[in-house]
Amino acid sequence: MKNIILTAMLLLLATTMNAMEKKLIRISTDRTDLVLQVAENGRLYQSYLGEKLLHVSDLEALSWDVYAATDGSVSQRGWEVYSGSGNEDFFEPAVAITHNDGNPSTWLYYVSSTQQLVPGGMQTDITLRDDQYPVEVILHYVAYAKENVIKTWSEIRHQEKKPIQLSTYASTMLYFCRNAYYLTEFSGDWAKEAQMSSQQLQPGKKILDTKLGSRAAMHMQPFFMVGLDQPASERQGEVLMGTLGWTGNFRTTFEVDNVGNLRIIPAINPYASVYSLQPNDAFTTPEFIFTLSTEGAGQGSRNLHEWARRYQLKDGMEDRMTLLNNWENTYFNFDQAKLEDLMKEAKELGVDLFLLDDGWFGNKHPRNDDHAGLGDWEVNHQKLPGGIQALTKAAKEAGVKFGIWIEPEMVNPKSELFERHPDWAIHYPNRKTYYYRNQLVLDLSNPEVQDYVYGVVDKLLTENPEIAYFKWDCNSPITNIYSPYLKEQQGQLYIDHVRGVYNVMRRVKENHPDIPMMLCSGGGGRCDYEALKYFTEFWCSDNTDPVERLYIQWGFSHFFPTKAMCAHVTSWNKNASVKFRTDVASMCKLGFDIGLKEMSADELNYCRQAVTNWKRLKPAILEGTQYRLISPYESNHMAVNYVSASQDKAVLFAYDIHPRYQEKLVPVKLQGLDADKMYKVEEINLMPGTKSHLKEHGKIFSGDYLMKIGLNIFGTRSMQSRVVELTVQP
Ligand code: DGJ
pLDDT at 72: 52
Report yes or no on 569 lying in a domain: no
pLDDT at 60: 85
Q: Ligand 1 centre and the CA of 328: distance in Å?
A: 9
The preferred substitution site among 539, 568, 594 for testing ligand 1, maximizing ligand atoms within 8 Å of CB, is 539
Position 109 pLDDT exceeds 60: yes
Cβ neighbours of residue 603 under 8 Å, at least 6 residues apart? 578, 579, 687
Please check whether residues 91 and 153 belong to one and the same domain.
yes
| Spatial separation of the C-alpha atoms in residues 388 and 639, rounded to whole Å | 42
Q: What is the mean pLDDT of residues 393-417?
A: 98
The preferred substitution site among 475, 540, 565, 592 for testing ligand 1, maximizing ligand atoms within 8 Å of CB, is 475
Residue 48 is part of a domain; what is its CATH number?
2.70.98.60
Q: What is the mean pLDDT of residues 294-319?
A: 98
Position 71 pLDDT exceeds 60: no
Please check whether residues 228 and 274 belong to one and the same domain.
yes
Q: Ligand 1 centre and the CA of 319: distance in Å?
A: 24
Binding-site residues, ligand 1, Cβ < 6 A: 327, 357-358, 405, 473, 475, 520, 522-523, 539, 542
Which of 277, 312, 347 delimits the end of a domain?
A: 312
| Spatial separation of the C-alpha atoms in residues 447 and 500, rounded to whole Å | 7
Cβ neighbours of residue 343 under 8 Å, at least 6 residues apart? 354, 394, 395, 398, 400, 402
Q: What is the mean pLDDT of residues 103-111?
A: 97
Per cent of the chain over pLDDT 70 is: 95
Please check whether residues 275 and 334 belong to one and the same domain.
no
Report yes or no on 582 lying in a domain: no
Q: Whose CA is closest to 400, among 328, 335, 320, 344?
A: 344
Residue nearest to atom 5 of ligand 1 (CA): 542
Instruction: Kindly report the backbone phi and psi dihedral angles of residue 638, in degrees, each rounded to the nearest multiple of 5, phi listed first.
Output: -150, 140
Q: Ligand 1 centre and the CA of 473: distance in Å?
A: 7
pLDDT at 23: 84
Instruction: pLDDT band for 78, please (50, 70, 90 cuts).
Output: confident
- Ligand 1 closest atom vs CA 541: 3
| Spatial separation of the C-alpha atoms in residues 591 and 193, rounded to whole Å | 19
Angle at 305 between CA 509 and CA 548, to 5 degrees: 95
| Spatial separation of the C-alpha atoms in residues 271 and 401, rounded to whole Å | 44
* H helix or E strand, kind and range, residue 57: helix 56-61
Candidate from 10-14, 115-119, 211-215, 629-633 with smallest mean pLDDT:
10-14
Please check whether residues 268 and 304 belong to one and the same domain.
yes
Please check whether residues 218 and 339 belong to one and the same domain.
no
Report yes or no on 554 lying in a domain: no
Report yes or no on 636 lying in a domain: yes
Candidate from 14-23, 94-103, 145-154, 473-482 with smallest mean pLDDT:
14-23
Q: Ligand 1 centre and the CA of 125: distance in Å?
A: 41
Q: Ligand 1 centre and the CA of 363: distance in Å?
A: 20
CB 226 within 8 A of CB 181: yes
Residue nearest to atom 1 of ligand 1 (CA): 522
Q: Ligand 1 centre and the CA of 311: distance in Å?
A: 29
Instruction: pLDDT band for 183, please (50, 70, 90 cuts).
Output: very high
Question: 237-295: per-residue pLDDT in tens?
Answer: 999 999 999 999 999 999 999 999 999 999 999 999 999 999 999 999 999 999 999 99
Please check whether residues 276 and 334 belong to one and the same domain.
no
More confident residue, 231 or 5: 231
Position 311 pLDDT exceeds 50: yes
pLDDT at 63: 82
- Ligand 1 closest atom vs CA 542: 3
Q: What is the mean pLDDT of residues 539-545?
A: 98
**3-class secondary structure per residue, 205-239:** EEEEECCCCCCCCCCEEEEEEEEECCCCCCCCEEE
The preferred substitution site among 357, 471, 541, 544 for testing ligand 1, maximizing ligand atoms within 8 Å of CB, is 357
For all residues of the chain together, what is the average pLDDT? Answer: 95
Q: Whose CA is closest to 94, among 288, 279, 243?
A: 288
Position 729 pLDDT exceeds 70: yes
pLDDT at 83: 96
Q: Ligand 1 centre and the CA of 530: distance in Å?
A: 21
* H helix or E strand, kind and range, residue 627: strand 625-630
Residue 716 is part of a domain; what is its CATH number?
2.60.40.1180
Please check whether residues 308 and 325 belong to one and the same domain.
no
Q: Ligand 1 centre and the CA of 422: distance in Å?
A: 25
Cβ neighbours of residue 84 under 8 Å, at least 6 residues apart? 93, 94, 95, 96, 97, 105, 106, 107, 108, 130
The preferred substitution site among 542, 543, 552, 568 for testing ligand 1, maximizing ligand atoms within 8 Å of CB, is 542
| Spatial separation of the C-alpha atoms in residues 438 and 176, rounded to whole Å | 46
Q: Ligand 1 centre and the CA of 89: distance in Å?
A: 47
pLDDT at 10: 42
pTM: 0.96
Position 162 pLDDT exceeds 90: yes
| Spatial separation of the C-alpha atoms in residues 336 and 382, rounded to whole Å | 10
Which of 283, 312, 341 delimits the end of a domain?
A: 312
Question: 412-438: per-residue pLDDT in tens?
Answer: 999 999 999 999 999 999 999 999 999
Q: Is 201 helix (H, G, I), strand (E, B) or coil?
A: coil
Q: What is the mean pLDDT of residues 468-474?
A: 98
| Spatial separation of the C-alpha atoms in residues 457 and 298, rounded to whole Å | 38
- Residue 227, beta-bridge partner list: 182, 239
Position 8 pLDDT exceeds 90: no
| Spatial separation of the C-alpha atoms in residues 240 and 554, rounded to whole Å | 18
User: Phi-psi region for residue 662, left (φ > 0), alpha (ψ -120 to 50) or beta?
Assistant: left
- Ligand 1 closest atom vs CA 370: 11
Instruction: pLDDT band for 368, please (50, 70, 90 cuts).
Output: very high
Instruction: Kindly report the backbone phi and psi dihedral angles of residue 185, in degrees, each rounded to the nearest multiple of 5, phi listed first.
Output: -115, 165
Burial of 631 (0-12, 13-18, 19+ CB in 10 A): middle
- Ligand 1 closest atom vs CA 593: 5
Instruction: pLDDT band for 64, please (50, 70, 90 cuts).
Output: confident
Q: What is the mean pLDDT of residues 160-178?
A: 98
CB 642 within 8 A of CB 621: yes
Angle at 283 between CA 281 and CA 289, to 5 degrees: 150
Angle at 659 between CA 658 and CA 662, to 5 degrees: 150
Q: Ligand 1 centre and the CA of 544: distance in Å?
A: 12
Report yes or no on 583 lying in a domain: no
The preferred substitution site among 331, 334, 358, 549 for testing ligand 1, maximizing ligand atoms within 8 Å of CB, is 358
pLDDT at 372: 98
Q: Ligand 1 centre and the CA of 112: distance in Å?
A: 49
Residue nearest to atom 11 of ligand 1 (CA): 358
3-state helix, strand, coil in the chain (%, to 5): 25, 30, 45
Instruction: pLDDT band for 88, please (50, 70, 90 cuts).
Output: confident
Please check whether residues 154 and 264 belong to one and the same domain.
yes
Please check whether residues 631 and 509 belong to one and the same domain.
no
Instruction: pLDDT band for 6, please (50, 70, 90 cuts).
Output: very low
Report yes or no on 523 lying in a domain: no
| Spatial separation of the C-alpha atoms in residues 456 and 465, rounded to whole Å | 14
**3-class secondary structure per residue, 648-683:** CEEEEEEEECCCCCCCCCCCECCCCCCCCCEEEEEE
Which of 292, 312, 332 delimits the end of a domain?
A: 312
**Total number of domains constituting the chain:** 3
Report yes or no on 677 lying in a domain: yes
Burial of 138 (0-12, 13-18, 19+ CB in 10 A): buried
pLDDT at 317: 98
Termini Cα distance of the chain? 81
DSSP-assigned letters across all residues of 361-413: B-SSS--SSTTB-TT--SB-TTT-TTHHHHHHHHHHHHT-EEEEEE-TTEE-S
Instruction: pLDDT band for 12, please (50, 70, 90 cuts).
Output: very low
Instruction: Kindly report the backbone phi and psi dihedral angles of residue 565, in degrees, each rounded to the nearest multiple of 5, phi listed first.
Output: -105, 110
CB 403 within 8 A of CB 353: yes
CA distances from 294 to 233, 234, 665, 708 (A): 11, 11, 30, 22
Q: Ligand 1 centre and the CA of 522: distance in Å?
A: 5
Please check whether residues 338 and 303 belong to one and the same domain.
no
The preferred substitution site among 360, 405, 474, 552 for testing ligand 1, maximizing ligand atoms within 8 Å of CB, is 405
Q: Ligand 1 centre and the CA of 443: distance in Å?
A: 21
Q: Ligand 1 centre and the CA of 54: distance in Å?
A: 51
Instruction: pLDDT band for 66, please (50, 70, 90 cuts).
Output: low
Please check whether residues 377 and 252 belong to one and the same domain.
no
Q: Ligand 1 centre and the CA of 406: distance in Å?
A: 10
Report yes or no on 186 lying in a domain: yes
- Ligand 1 closest atom vs CA 539: 3
Q: Which domain, by its residues, includes 41? A: 2-312
- Taking each helix axis as running N to C, give the angle between helix 493-511 and helix 447-463, from 0 to 180 degrees, rounded to the nearest 10: 30
| Spatial separation of the C-alpha atoms in residues 632 and 225, rounded to whole Å | 18
Q: Ligand 1 centre and the CA of 521: distance in Å?
A: 8
Please check whether residues 266 and 153 belong to one and the same domain.
yes
Residue nearest to atom 9 of ligand 1 (CA): 522
- Ligand 1 closest atom vs CA 521: 3
The preferred substitution site among 473, 549, 593 for testing ligand 1, maximizing ligand atoms within 8 Å of CB, is 473
